[in-house]
Structure 1
């Protein structure tokens, strides 16, 4: 803030010494589109996944410990056919022990160590959209400017990439309009190595993320 104030003060002083006819201007344009489109995503179990108690004896000393995979059901209902993409925001950003946009953090232990990470995978083969058969997944890592060739391969949802679905195999046009979508997602958790954790007290896994629907 101090840098900005100094800059503004200097600019005001400069303007005061310029002739009136030398004044410069710039325009600001603010635009957007308010759409009647509306979609509601719902995760099974209210999006809550429990692993219960995990003994430190079951963890690996020097490598991460992969826990059994869990499944979540997603239902996404719109008020009409809508083009959209999905993205996930990590509410524990910076706590995953591996740095990648597809890994989300589980929080920190009592000594500030990173507890572990998790990922969430969409499988087009376990996804249904309207009357499509089958459903193909597509992804954009450049904010929707270009899209991956649509296919049946599973996709890990990212924090910066966009994920969508279409009924056209091989399409690079991006997501098609969908009204009703259901999908079975796979959740995978990895606990950090024992040597990197403070195991003198209980450690509470505290992963939290928000699944976002972005209208295209």
Structure 2
């Protein structure tokens, strides 16, 4: 994903019968970079996590219920080594029971009640990138202008923070070039208290999100 900045400058012409103020012409600038780099993210099982039928009696009435953890293998393959980061967009935006960039919604029941939420956890310890001896994660909350100190601690993939990868611990230099990356990510799902849901009919878990690669 590349942003194309646009700048517009204008000049106001002022004059009299005897003199005129010279001004630059109106100017429109459109800039951007077309890159030959192409990276493709792929989830195992086509990105599908299916909890099957969940009995009401297995859920808590007045507190949230965390379902069993599920795991997906994530692969990032690029046609050449590249600096990149990841973000995830919620296709069910506004349906998570907690408002946070790390939580994604499971849609709503027949009465419009929010069913729950899920998050996707990335762990550098379960990640391999090219021939790097170890992978650390680094993240940016400023659109890539600055990066956190790289660490081996796990992190949830977020909707606004960019997640990048490096082989240097404690670095704030941002992601290094990587061509192929493989990681096992953990999906954690939570269901709202059944007292807040309409269970006169089936409530369908219908979470959907899109993982995006940002080229740096």
TM-score scaled by length of structure 2? 0.88
| 2:117 matches 1:117 | yes
**Displacement after TM superposition at 1:50 (Å):** 0.5
Aligned-residue RMSD, C-alpha: 1.9
1:56-80 Cα deviation digits (max 9, x unpaired):
1111112111000000001111011
**Displacement after TM superposition at 1:204 (Å):** 0.6
Higher mean C-alpha deviation, range 138-147 or range 200-209: 138-147
SS for the counterpart of 2:79 is strand
**Cα distance change, pair 27–191 in 1 and its aligned pair in 2 (3 A):** same
Q: Distance in 2 between matches of 1:38 and 1:174?
A: 19
**Displacement after TM superposition at 1:83 (Å):** 0.2
Aligned to 2:204: 204
Number of equivalenced pairs: 200
- Runs ≥4 residues deviating over 2 A: 18-28
Aligned to 1:80: 80
SS for the counterpart of 2:29 is coil
**Cα distance change, pair 75–24 in 1 and its aligned pair in 2 (3 A):** same
Unpaired stretches in structure 2, ≥5 consecutive residues = 1-11
**Displacement after TM superposition at 1:28 (Å):** 2.7
Q: Distance in 2 between matches of 1:170 and 1:19?
A: 64
| 2:46 matches 1:46 | yes
Q: Distance in 2 between matches of 1:180 and 1:157?
A: 18
**Displacement after TM superposition at 1:91 (Å):** 0.3
Unpaired stretches in structure 1, ≥5 consecutive residues = 1-14
> How does 1:1-216 map onto structure 2 within 5 Å?
26-216=26-216
Q: Distance in 2 between matches of 1:202 and 1:54?
A: 10
Q: Distance in 2 between matches of 1:164 and 1:199?
A: 41
